[in-house]
């Protein structure tokens, strides 16, 4: 509980002591009026968002795959091998 209180008291002090320029980039404030730094920050943020959604989409697709495999499991190994042996003996008999 003491750690929480200390953190709650120190956070506003640290925010007040930091310079306003360090709070957010120009793209976060919407000031991308043609400056090279603002345009680069906007492109960087856009690239990070694309990568993040790609990774989240991959995790979601993998979870869907696992759920689908859980609903439709493969047959037991013995059944699969038994089917192959039955087909091989049928070919030998004909």
**SS3 annotation, the chain:** CHHHHHHHHHHHHHHHHCCHHHCCCHHHHCCCCCCHHHHHHHHHHHHHHHHHHHHHHHHHHHHHHHHHHHHCCCCCHHHHHHHHHHHHHHHHHC
| Tens-binned pLDDT, residue by residue, of the chain (94 aa) | 788 888 888 888 887 887 766 666 655 666 656 778 777 877 888 999 999 999 999 999 999 999 999 998 887 878 777 766 655 555 555 5
Residue 86 pLDDT: 56
pLDDT at 37: 76
């Amino acid at each position: 509980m003491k750690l929480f209180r200390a953190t709650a008291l120190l956070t506003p002090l640290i925010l007040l002591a930091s310079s306003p320029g360090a709070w957010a980039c120009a793209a976060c404030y919407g000031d991308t009026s043609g400056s090279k730094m603002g345009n680069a920050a906007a492109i960087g943020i856009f690239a990070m968002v694309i990568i993040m959604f790609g990774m989240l989409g991959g995790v979601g697709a993998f979870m869907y795959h696992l759920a689908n495999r859980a609903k439709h499991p493969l047959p037991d190994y013995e059944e699969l091998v038994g089917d192959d042996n039955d087909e091989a003996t049928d070919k030998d008999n004909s």
